[in-house]
Amino acid sequence: MTVTQTAPEITTETSRDVLGEAVVAGRAALTRDALREQLRLPRLQTVVWDNTELLEPCPNCGHWEHLDEPAASPVGPVVADLRPDRSALLAAAWTLTLLVELLDGRRPARQVTGLVASRVLRYLAAVPAGRDGSCGGARLLSVHPRQPHEGAVEVAASLRLAGRRRAMAASFALPGVDSWVCETVRIL
């Protein structure tokens, strides 16, 4: 039994093969569709799922129709962005520095009682910080304070604690007129 098979088209220009590698001039250049044709497989179709049905590109030009029209702008006055309070961000970063010193044993808890809630002090006392009598176990590496709205500051930080890099999250509130208080702290 003799099987005749047509050879792939030989090109003299550089093109791309199936894996995206450049094909040397004069060698066979098979595209994905040409290879599927040679193997007598159907051509692949590109479709998009818009959560209700499969959409296909235009068969003539390949253009995709817009799935949805852009939403209209909301009606009403434009909301101005909150300008962060620099003193609030600095107070939060400074308080976090004091809390890391407290974790390390370099600062007594009575020095930060007015700056933090009592549950924060209890949480920090329960954190295994590797206190072996020597300082240097906890070190603040980076601090990123943000003010999502007036009266609140949230801080993401990283610290080295007992030889490992850990993440720390804290939230601050403004219960009075001018004093920021750390309400929650978590070390991940």
pTM: 0.56
Euclidean distance between CA atoms 186 and 159, whole angstroms: 12
Q: Which two tokens stand for residue 163?
A: 């030889």
**10 Å Cβ neighbour count for 167?**
11
Euclidean distance between CA atoms 114 and 60, whole angstroms: 72
* CATH number, span 86-187: 3.10.450
Give Cα separations from 98 to 39, 77, 94, 152 (angstroms). 70, 42, 6, 19
Is residue 141's pLDDT more than 60?
yes
Please state, for a pLDDT cut of 70, what percent of the chain lies above it: 68
46-61: per-residue pLDDT in tens? 676 766 677 777 767 7
131-140: per-residue pLDDT in tens? 554 555 789 9
50-102: per-residue pLDDT in tens? 666 777 777 677 666 655 566 777 787 776 777 888 999 999 999 999 999 99
Euclidean distance between CA atoms 29 and 23, whole angstroms: 6
95 close to 112: Cβ distance less than 8 angstroms: yes
Give the residue-averaged pLDDT of 25-48.
69
Parse the chain into domains and list their residue ranges.
Answer: 15-47, 86-187
Q: To which residue do tokens 């001018």 refer? A: 178
DSSP state letter for 111: G
